[in-house]
Structure 1
């Protein structure tokens, strides 16, 4: 059951990672390589979800791994939402440049640098956790499983298709 929820949630993350808005802000902030790495690592993890779903029933370590993955997926989603919000804010302030230039003069420079550093620390932390999960999947014996349907279901589908034509 966890596999279905996580797989759907990872699909949402893949959509967000592929969005033009996120790519634009990631490029602007110089974190586009990090976003590509997240995509690659999440792809590796998504491949073993079916196997993990089967093994979590009998293996507590796999169950914990799936739980850690779920929490990390929520953290990734939060970061991607923050970046999307920042992109929209940037677009809005770009359109109203004369007003915002006055406001920017009031913001102290160190505050901007602290926020920038905090964002990079968060990105680095998520990347490290993703890499740990990828490494741990191997030690847990998780592998890519193809979804297979029982033969009689395939036969029924083929028979239904023939009658439909």
Structure 2
């Protein structure tokens, strides 16, 4: 997947994390701090995608990092879809049994923790690979444009 597509996918995840109903549900159920961590980590990762795209051509570890990031993004998207579904169910069935909803969320707690841990691994790998924010393809194109008279 190209950097532009991955960046767009990450932006769609950031948009999901910014939706009112999802965050309200997260606050109500007590996992909003995890979603805030995800949003922060996604923002940091998005900044280095240009550098990663450029370096993956010569560094197989950067390519693997991008592949791992994509798998993590897909898994995260699945979990956010589940949260959206639960939030809608809870909103539509306010008279439904809250114990059922809580037990479903307890089942999802290990998934939340797993994704957060994988984010931390991705972040550590980013540092180990020397990926830098706002560098790579985009910044070199910008500097070439500014050199032209």
TM-score range, shorter chain: 0.7 to 0.9
Shift of 1:64: 0.5
Mapped partners of 1:154, 1:92: distance in 2: 58
Match of 1:27 in 2: 27
The change in CA–CA distance for 1:9 and 1:21 in structure 2 (over 3 A counts) is same
1:67 maps to which residue? 67
TM-score by length of 1: 0.79
Query: 1:109-162, CA deviations, whole angstroms, 9 ceiling, x for partnerless residues?
Result: 6x766533321100000000001000110111111124333227976xxxxxxx
RMSD (Å) for aligned C-alpha atoms? 2.1
Q: Aligned partners of 2:35, 2:128: CA distance in 1, in Å? A: 25
Largest Rg, 1 or 2: 1
CA contact (8 A) 1:2 1:66 kept: no
Give me the whole-angstrom Cα distance separating, in 2, the residues matched to 1:89 and 1:132. Answer: 33
- Equivalent pair of 2:90/2:101 in contact (CA under 8 Å): no
CA contact (8 A) 2:86 2:101 kept: no
Aligned partners of 1:35 and 1:154: how far apart in 2?
A: 44
Cα gap change, 1:154/1:120 in structure 2, threshold over 3 Å: closer, same or farther? farther
Map 1:71-82 → 2, pairs under 5 A: 71-82=71-82
Count of aligned residue pairs for this structure pair? 144
Q: Which runs of 5+ in 2 are unaligned?
A: none
2:121 to 125, 128, 132: 132
Q: 1:145 to 1:92 in 2, by over 3 A?
A: same
For residues 29-53 of structure 1, what are the alpha-carbon distances to aligned partners after superposition, in whole Å with 9 as ceiling and x for unaligned? Answer: 1001000000111111111100000
Gap regions ≥5 residues in structure 1: 156-165
Q: How does 1:104-143 map to 2 (within 5 A)?
A: 104=97, 115-143=104-132
